[in-house]
Structure 1
Amino acid sequence: MKSNPVYGEGDATLQAVGGLTGLQNLVETFYRLMEHTEAYRPLFDMHPEDTKLTINKLVAFLSGWMGGERLFAKTYGKIHLPQAHAHLIVTEKEKAMWLNCMSAALDECGYSQELKDYLLPQLEFPAERIRQVSTIKNSL
């Protein structure tokens, strides 16, 4: 009997969100919630007015991050997340907003608690690194 793939192995996480189509829907939901939910709106206001490219970049990044094709590198070149966000001030508040908004998007899209319990702590690592670099940069 074949067991289900474990999140984080191969592209199991990407497949758990429904492949690229599911990931696109998740990211679009994430940005819609960010735009239209007062608690997350400060994050939305940190982005360019036209979020189409921003959405495409996050889908491309998360595709590779979730074990799928490395679309970001293929389309945009190498990324170093902290430097890509260096122009922003990211404190614990913005980090928490980002993670809470992603949690809300996962809920709205109907993903399992098991997937959320895996994904959100994993997303906290890059979010924390972005916060750390922002803190150092803005204290100079």
Structure 2
Amino acid sequence: MSAETPYDFIGGESAIHSLVDRFYFYMDILPEAQGIRAMHQPSLASAKDKLFKFLSGWLGGPNLFIEEFGHPMLRMRHFPFKIGPSERDQWMLCMNKALAEIPMDPRLHSNIQTALQQLATHMINQEPSDSIEPAS
């Protein structure tokens, strides 16, 4: 008998699909997320597929992303995109709204939210655009 994982506790494949669908729904409609929406193709189908496959394995379910694409190497895969604190915050805004719609134990919700925040922060590859240059 295998140990249950976060993937199991939130409802498995159907819950991950719901999470991903809601995440991209918010990315598509929220004016506050237009910066990250602009980084994506007009059709979000490929992005949805990849995020679903990544989250499946990341949460302890089937390693669909690794089976199809190899190791996620998230930072490297996202390096072509300018990701700063603003983009991280836009991503988390959409993810937090989507997570709020998935029924789960509050402690699990908090743990997943914290882990995703850390992951999103790890993707930052740009300095904040509003930084003030030091006086010379």
Q: Which TM-score band applies after superposition, normalised by the shorter structure?
A: 0.7 to 0.9
Alignment partner of 1:52 is 2:49? no
Q: Distance in 2 between matches of 1:113 and 1:28?
A: 21
Cα 1:118/1:108, change in 2 over 3 Å: same
Q: Which runs of 5+ in 2 are unaligned?
A: 128-136
Using the aligned pairs only, state the percent identity: 26
Following the alignment from structure 1 to structure 2, what is the Cα–Cα distance between the partners of residues 79 and 114?
26
Residue matched to 2:126: 135
TM-score scaled by length of structure 1 = 0.81
Q: CA deviation at 1:135?
A: 2.5
- Kindly state the Cα deviation for residue 110 of structure 1 after the two structures are TM-superposed: 4.0
Name which one, 1 or 2, has greater alpha-carbon Rg. Answer: 2
Cα offset, 1:116, TM superposition? 2.2
Q: Secondary structure at the match of 1:135?
A: coil
Whole-angstrom distance in 2 between the partners of 1:37 and 1:68: 30
Shift of 1:14: 0.7
Is the CA contact 2:27–2:94 (under 8 Å) kept in the aligned structure 1?
Answer: yes
In 1, the alpha carbon distance for the partners of 2:121 and 2:126 equals 10
Indicate the residue corresponding to 1:120 in structure 2: 113
How many positions carry a matched residue from both structures? 126
My pick for the range that moved more, 85-94 or 11-20, is 11-20
Show structure 1 runs of 4+ deviating over 6 A.
Answer: none
The letter for the 1-side match of 2:75 is P
TM-score by length of 2: 0.83
Distance apart, 1:112 and its partner CA: 4.3
Q: Is the 8 A contact 1:64 1:71 kept in 2?
A: yes
CA RMSD of aligned residues (A): 1.9
Amino acid at match of 2:16: L
